[in-house]
Amino acid sequence: MQSLNKVTYVCDGLADGDLTRHTGLDTRDEPGQMGRALDGALSRLRQTITTIEGSATSLAGASEQMSSTAANIAASAEQTSAQALAVSAAAEEVSRSVETVSSGSEQMGASIREISQNAAEAARVASEAVTITANTSATMNKLGDSSAEIGNVIKVITAIAEQTNLLALNATIEAARAGEMGKGFAVVASEVKDLAQETARATEDISRRVQAIQQDTSGAVAAIDEISVVIERISEFQTTIASAVEEQTATTAEMNRSVSEAAGGAGEIAQNITGVAEAARMTSQGVTETQQATTELARMSTELSGLVATFRI
């Protein structure tokens, strides 16, 4: 009966959560076997409760630390999301600016190409002007030579007129000597004399005009030569401009390519930043769920600690 009382005592304590009791029985009868089995079960139960208590404490600490860490991660995720959105907006603004620059570069390239075409056309016209000026100069030189030849012919005509005038004078003298018989010859001689004098005056006038033409021709040739030099310089300038514009066209094309690449890169950055913002938002959402799970773990740990506290070990 004493052995059964010890077993009953331990069982009553176990029912109240008291795990400190033990039977201490070591007999081989049934109450002794029950006591040893009960003592062994209580010992293992105490170890289990102790382990659970320690685990609950560790779980509570880990839950608290996890909750704090999750809160920090959530704050960082929100800040990252806000910064990513700001960077995305800035990247989009940069992309728009780069697109504007690209459009301006394309317009500048079109203007430069037009300038290049105009410069090339101007160079072509200047080259034609040089050729025309050279031809005109040659024509004026020929005109000067022709004027000189006309002057020589006029000199011959003047000499003939002077000789004719002299012959007419002699004929007039001879007609006067002939008296009545020479009157008709005198009239003819007078007319020849008048014609010779008129021819002399005409040739003199022509000579003055030819000299004026020669002087004007010389001046025109000199002016044309100066114009030719100026046109050649203009042609050289136009060629230099065309070369510079061609080089600038290549530079503008390279700049357009770089700007286009920059625009593409800025757009890609904006897309990537948007992805980062979305990932940060999802991270924040995941952290919120983690915080909820951590809160649930803390509650379970508290509940488990409360359950363990009902036992005395």
Domain ranges of the chain: 2-309
Confidence band of 1 (pLDDT split at 50, 70, 90): low
Pick left, alpha or beta for residue 45 (phi over 0 → left; psi -120 to 50 → alpha; otherwise beta).
Answer: alpha
Percent over 90 (pLDDT), the chain: 1
pLDDT band at residue 243 using 50, 70 and 90 as cut-offs: confident
Distances (CA, A) of 207 to 147, 154, 165, 203, 210: 9, 7, 19, 6, 5
**pLDDT tens per residue across span 199-232:** 878 888 887 887 887 787 777 778 777 877 877 7
**pTM of the full structure:** 0.43
Most confident of 5-14, 81-90, 254-263: 5-14
Measured CA to CA in angstroms, residue 235 lies from 136, 230, 263 at distances of 18, 9, 40
The CATH-assigned architecture of domain 2-309 is: Orthogonal Bundle (1.10)
Q: Note whether 49 and 308 are within 8 A (CB).
A: yes
Reading the block at residue 40, the tokens are 């062994």
Q: Place 40 in a pLDDT band, splitting at 50, 70 and 90.
A: very high
Residue with tokens 């000579």: 207
More confident residue, 50 or 306: 50
44-58, pLDDT tens digit by residue?
A: 988 888 888 888 788
